[in-house]
A = this chain, B = another copy of it.
Amino acid sequence: MATIYQVAERAGVSLSTVSRVLNGKTTVNATLKAKVEKAMVELNYRPNSVARSLATSRSDSVGILVSELNTPFFGDLMQGVESTLRAADKHVIITVGHNNLTTEQDAVEFLISRNCDALIMHAEAMKDEDLIALNEKRLPISLVNRQVKGLENNCIALDNEKGGYLATTHLLELGHRDIAYISGPMKIRDACQRLKGHKRALEEAGVAYNPFLTFEGHYEEEDGKTGLLELMSRDTPFSALVCANDWMASGAMSCARDLGMDLPHDLSIVGFDDVVFAHHVYPRLTTVSNPIADMAKMSAQYILNTLYGHTHNVQRLFEPTLVVRESTMAYES
């Protein structure tokens, strides 16, 4: 690969001149500039971003931390960030945290050692204080789908409580009173908030919350099945079910069908996230949309602002909306 030095030699100028036309910061005599550019194409010159990064300790790329690579949720997240960053000529380095503390920390170290200018993270295992320290002492970060006290500006989150509220309210409006709930793991923030919204909706409707109607899952498809089975074994009848994400909803639907139930007549089901397959299931899933791609985009814009002087508006709290499809229907006594 040609280096800046060879370009300089061929163009008959010094390497600083080449550097200047490369970066376009300072003005360069038009003739020299032309010569340099000619030399560059002739040599098929490509700047080495590693060298540049070492010299400037910047890299024009931002690190991304996701929990998994192969789920629709994170797919949308990555895609949202990548496309808006790329439009600004920034690049993206993606790492995986697997919802595990050590892995997340390793990933962060890797990204930093790669001179990333900033980090956009979906951190699940790292603690609030770690994140605060990271942001203060190391490099700017933005958190997607999480709210950290003391880092309000950096957080882009969904109003999960409202989402839970919407789901349950929808069911209440359809006349359901006995509403079961399969939650995510309660150690995860958003899972708590969604459940909280569910409870508020019940309360406002004057329906007593019955702990026997809720089951704690792990956000995985399998939990929809085991949850439904468990709930049904408790001898507390219910006519509707809200699941804290679409995976569990899909699991519950399959299970219900295997049990010979007729959906949605025998059971109305609401999901959460409106993940890509939500309208592939049958009946098509009524769910709460989680505009993760938009949030990701916003997160990227925030980084663009703080790092490269852009001036996008940044919206920090996103409102979920209810997407009514065919998996819910009016209560039939």
Contacts and interface: CB of A to CB of B under 8 A. Distances in A.
B82 A71 contact: no
A72 interface: yes
Contacts of A54: 48, 50-51, 54
A68 B72 contact: no
Interface in A207-240: none
Interface in A102-151: 109-110, 112-115
Given A46-B112, A50-B59, A282-B283, 11 more contacts: A50-B50, A50-B53, A50-B54, A50-B114, A69-B75, A70-B75, A70-B79, A72-B72, A91-B95, A281-B281, A281-B282
A51 B54 CA distance: 6
Nearest to A251: B280
A169 interface: no
A96 interface: yes
A32 to B, nearest CB: 24
Q: How large is the interface on A (under 10, 10 to 19, 20 to 34, 35 or more residues)?
A: 35 or more
- Secondary structure dominating the interface of A: helix
Interface string A77-112: 011001000100001111110000000000001101
Nearest to A51: B54
A293 B114 CA distance: 27
A95 to B, nearest CB: 8
A69 B110 CA distance: 21
A257 B282 contact: yes
Residue of A50, A70, A71, A281 with most partner-chain B CB within 10 A? A70
